[in-house]
Amino acid sequence: MAEQAQMQVSDEVAIAIENMNKWFGSFHVLRDINLTVNQGERIVIAGPSGSGKSTLIRCINALEEHQKGRIVVDGTLLSSDLKNIDKIRSEVGMVFQHFNLFPHLTILENCTLAPIWVRKIPKKEAEETAMHFLEKVKIPEQADKYPGQLSGGQQQRVAIARSLCMRPRIMLFDEPTSALDPEMIKEVLDTMVSLAEEGMTMLCVTHEMGFARQVANRVIFMDQGQIVEQNEPEEFFNNPQSDRTKLFLSQILGH
């Protein structure tokens, strides 16, 4: 599995973050982040709560604004230029902890909205694409329901399908399984694994270490707004270097 995953990574740089810093008011939440992600790489970001994991990936699609340093996504420099921001957002999909589906629209409309309005794709074609991805996440039969009628696991799979309908080159996941009941975690992880196997560039904030072992090329450990350690998953879990990482792993993996 690991070798196969390795082979899909290209030399093309998908995301380049250089000396990026961010403050909330006077609180220095991200400190000197340097991170390069190649096309096809799958990166898992772990770390204690409040360490800045969400803030980091939210900077990548400009949901948060960084104050220092450079972020280049798919060749586009992230600046305050709205055109660049919109361009990057349409290339980068994001899946949230709380799904954030649009409750007033049906599942199908949730999936076709952005392709129709942002990509200007004809409605018919957008619906076909949407059904394709809904089949992929295994809930085509729910297309005409509203989000409120679905279980958490189903909603999260719809959220993944909704992002995929924009045909993004990069997918960001912010603790996609943390709000789910245990029996629904697997169905969402399965969807993410199959996405990874197709070579999608993925950045996942998650505490699912099984997932990290199975699909990640790299695991990044963050603490206090800094990248403390990064390594291949086997090395990361079996041979952690820093004390913070060891402490974190012992807490999260149990004894």
Partner 1 sequence: MSDTHAQSVAFVRDTMLPEQAPPVSEAGVVKWMRENLFPGPVNALLTILAIYFVYKIVAGALPWFWNGVWTTSSLAECREVLNGATGGCFSVLTERWNQLLFGFKYPSEQYWRPLSAFILLVVAVAPVLFFSLPRKMLIFTGLYPFLAYWLIWGGTILAPLFGLIGLVVAFMVFRRVEGRGFATAALAGLVTAVVVWWLGGLLAAALPGALALDPVPSRDMGGFMLNMILGTVCVSLSLPIGILLALGRQSHMPIIKWICVVFIEFIRGVPLITLLFVANVVLSYFFPPETNLDLIIRVIIMITAFASAYIAEVIRGGLAALPRGQYEAADSLGLDYAQSMRLIILPQALKISIPGIVNVAVGLFKDTTLVSVISMFDLVGMIRGPILASTEWNGVYWELWGFAVVTFFVVCYGISQYSQWLERQLQRDHH
Ligand X SMILES: Nc1ncnc2c1ncn2[C@@H]1O[C@H](COP(=O)(O)OP(=O)(O)O)[C@@H](O)[C@H]1O
Among residues 35, 39, 42, 52, the one that binds ligand X under rule CB under 6 A: 52
Judged by the rule CB under 5 A, the positions of this chain that interact with Mg ion are 54
55 scored as a contact of ligand X (CB under 6 A) = yes
Q: What is the DSSP track for 109-129? A: HHHHHHHHHTS---HHHHHHH
Minimal distance in Å, beta carbon 25 to ligand X? 7
Which residue from 221, 162, 161, 231 is spatially nearest to 194, judged by alpha carbons?
A: 161
- Do 213 and 233 meet the contact criterion of CB atoms below 8 Å apart? yes
| Residues in the chain, overall count | 255
**Which range of residues in 50-58, 97-105, 135-143, 212-220 is near ligand X by CB under 6 A?**
50-58
Distance CA 87, CA 16 (A): 16
CA distances from 54 to 62, 144, 175, 178, 225 (A): 12, 32, 8, 13, 10
Residue 98 interaction partner, one of Mg ion, partner 1, ligand X, none, beta carbon < 5-8 Å per kind: partner 1
Minimal distance in Å, beta carbon 148 to partner 1? 4
Query: Which positions from 82 to 101 touch partner 1 by CB under 8 A, shown as an x/- string?
Result: x---x--xx-xxx-x-x-xx
Minimal distance in Å, beta carbon 54 to partner 1? 11
Among residues 39, 54, 129, 142, the one that binds ligand X under rule CB under 6 A: 54
Tokens of 168: 């993004």
Among residues 53, 157, 162, 169, the one that binds ligand X under rule CB under 6 A: 53
In sequence order, which residues have a C-beta less than 8 Å from that of residue 230 and are 6 or more positions away? Answer: 218, 219, 220, 221, 236
Minimal distance in Å, beta carbon 119 to Mg ion? 29
Among residues 49, 80, 238, 239, the one that binds ligand X under rule CB under 6 A: 49
Nearest residue (beta carbon) to ligand X: 54
- Do 14 and 38 meet the contact criterion of CB atoms below 8 Å apart? yes
The number of angstroms, rounded, from the C-alpha of 191 to the middle of its chain's C-alpha atoms is 13
Residues of this chain that bind ligand X (CB under 6 A): 24, 29, 47, 49-55
* Residues lying near partner 1 in the complex (CB under 8 A): 61-63, 82, 86, 89-90, 92-94, 96, 98, 100-104, 113-114, 117-118, 146, 148-149, 162-163, 166
